Amino acid sequence: MKQIGIMISISFLVFAAATHAETIRVRDGESIAKAIKRASPGTVIEVEPGIYQEALVVDVPNLTLRGIVEGPRRPVLDGAISAEKMLADGVIVSGSPFTMTGFQVQNYAGNGVTTQGIDGVYISDLIVKDTGLYGIYPIQARNIVVTHCRISGMRDAGIYVGQSNHARIAFNETHHNVVGIQLENTNDAEVTGNLVHRNTLGIYAVVLPGKVQKTGARATISNNWVTDNNTKNFGDSFSFIGAIPHGAGIVVTGADDIEIHGNRIRGHRSVGIVVGRLPLLYSKKDQAIEPLSNRVHIRNNHLAENGEAPHPKALLFYGGVGSIAWDGHGEGHCIAASLSKRQTGKPMPHCADDEESGGHEMPPTSPPPKATAPTATSDLRGDVEVRIRAMRYEPREIRIKIGQSVVWINDDAVSHTVTSGEGTEPSFAPLRSGFLNRGDRYAHRFEQPGTYEYLCLPHVDQASMRGAKVIVDAP
C-alpha cells in the first residue's frame, strides 16, 4: 500500500513539472487567494481591475502577481472589510522569488506587502496606502528591487528593508509616512531617484540592536528628491521610530560606507543630512554591533532651507541642526561640494578628491540609472510632442483634443520629471513621470477636459520648469 502512495506522488511530480509557468486570470469578483492555491512554481496570476478584499499568503516559489493597469484603473487589495474591521496584512510572502506589479494595496492594520526570508523580491508600480506599520517590508531577504511604487500613510516606514542584502530602491515616491525609506541592518543597498517628501524623516540608514544581522554597510543614497519631511511623528509612542523628531532629510545612524550624492534635500525644519552614532541607550543592548557610523561620503548634494525651525528634541536626537549635522563620531567621513556649508557640531573634513570644495549649485553629476517604468521607455509615441531641452518645456503650453495623448521627451543631459502640480507644489496626479534621463519618454492620454499644469520636481525652483500646461478642449 505504501508503494502505491509513493507512485501516486511521483506522478504528481511529473504533472507538476509539465504544467509550470501557466497564467491564471482573476476577474473582478473572483478571489486572488483561490488562484494562489492553484498556483505552481512559475505561475503568473493576472488580476483585472476591481476591489479584492483579501489577505494573501504566497508560499509557492516564483509566483508573479500582475495587476492589469488600464489607465487609472487597477486591481485594489482592500483590507477594510467592514466599517470597524481591517484585515491585518495585504500580502505575506515566503516563496522565492516573488514578483508583484500593478496593484493598489490599502487599508490593512499591520502591513502592505511583507516578504520574509526570501531570495528575489521584485516589486514595482504598487500604490500602497494606509496599511499600518509598513508599506513594503522585505525582512531577512536578499536581491530586492522596489521601483516605481507610491507609498503613504505608514506609522513606521513606507519602504522598510530589514536585515537584508542587495537591495535597490529606485524611483519610488513615499510621502506622509513616519519614515519614507528605511534601511535597517541592511548591506549593499542603493536608494536612488526616489521622491521622498512630507514624511517625519526622509531616508534613514540605521543599525539597530538585537537583530540577527548585525551590520548595515555599503549603501548609495543618490539623486533622490528629499523635501519637506516635517510631518509630525504619528508612530507608536513606545517604539523606536515613534520617538524621532520631525524635520530630517537623510539620516545615517551607525551604518558604514555610505555614499550620499546628487540628492536635493530641501525644506527640513530640523536638519538636512545627519551622520551619527547609535545612541548609547540602544547600542548597549547589543555587544555585537558597531554603533559608530564610518566612512560616510557626502558629495554634490543640493541642500536648501534646512534647519530653519528645528524640533525641540532635534539637537539632542540628531546631534545637530541645520544643513548637515555630524556628532563627531566615526572615521573616514568626508564632504564635498554640497551647496550649503552651514553645519553644526564638528565640521566634516573635505573629500580628498574634491576639486570644487567651494560648494555651488550643480545638477546631480551621476544621472540616475535608466528608468524601467513602462511609462518611461524610448519607443512611446503621442499625438503631440513636448521636448524638454535647456531647462524648459517646449512648447510650454499645448492645446489638444480629448482622447489625444502627449509624449514628453527629455533632450537634456540632466534628469527631469513631468509631474502634475500648481506653482511649486506637486500634486502627482494625473501626470507622474518618474525621473526621465536623456532620451527617455513619458506619455499620457487625456480623457477629461481641463487645464493640466505640471512641473519638474528637481528644478521646480526655476520658473521655466514649472507652470507648463496641457489644455484639453471639451468635444
Strand 89-93 vs strand 405-410: parallel, antiparallel, or unpaired? unpaired
Q: How far is the CB of 58 from another protein (least distance, A)?
A: 8
Contacts with another protein in 264-283 (CB under 8 A)? 281
| Choices 36-44, 181-189, 331-339, 442-450 (CB under 8 A): range interacting with another protein | 36-44
CA 250 – CA 335 distance, rounded (Å): 14
Q: Which is nearer to another protein, 133 or 321 (CB)?
A: 133
Q: Does residue 239 interact with another protein by CB under 8 A?
A: yes
Residues making up the chain, counted from first to last:
475
Spatial strand order in the sheet of 405-410: 392-394, 384-389, 405-410, 441-445
One residue of 67, 132, 319, 322 binding another protein per CB under 8 A: 132
Query: Count of alpha carbons within 13 Å of 157, Cβ hemisphere only?
Result: 21
83 binds another protein (CB under 8 A): no
Q: Tell me which residues in 209-238 interact with another protein (CB under 8 A).
A: 210-212, 236, 238
- CA dist 45 and 40 (Å) reads 11
Closest contact distance (angstroms) between CB of 42 and another protein is 10
Is residue 26 within 8 A of residue 48, CB to CB? The reply is yes
* 19 in contact with another protein (CB under 8 A): no
Q: Does 317 bind another protein (CB under 8 A)?
A: no
291 binds another protein (CB under 8 A): no
Give the three cell numbers for residue 15. Answer: 504533472
Q: Does 18 bind another protein (CB under 8 A)?
A: no
| Residue 57: CB minimum distance to another protein, A | 5
The counts of H helices and E strands in the chain are 4, 42
Q: Is 41 in the site for another protein (CB under 8 A)?
A: yes
Site for another protein in 391-450 (CB under 8 A): none
Q: Does 298 bind another protein (CB under 8 A)?
A: no
Q: What are phi and psi of 362, to 5 degrees?
A: -150, 150
CB-wise, 232 or 284, nearer to another protein?
A: 284
Strand partners, 275: 252, 326
122 scored as a contact of another protein (CB under 8 A): no
Say whether residue 9 binds another protein (CB under 8 A).
yes
Residue 322, number of CB atoms within 10 A of its CB: 23
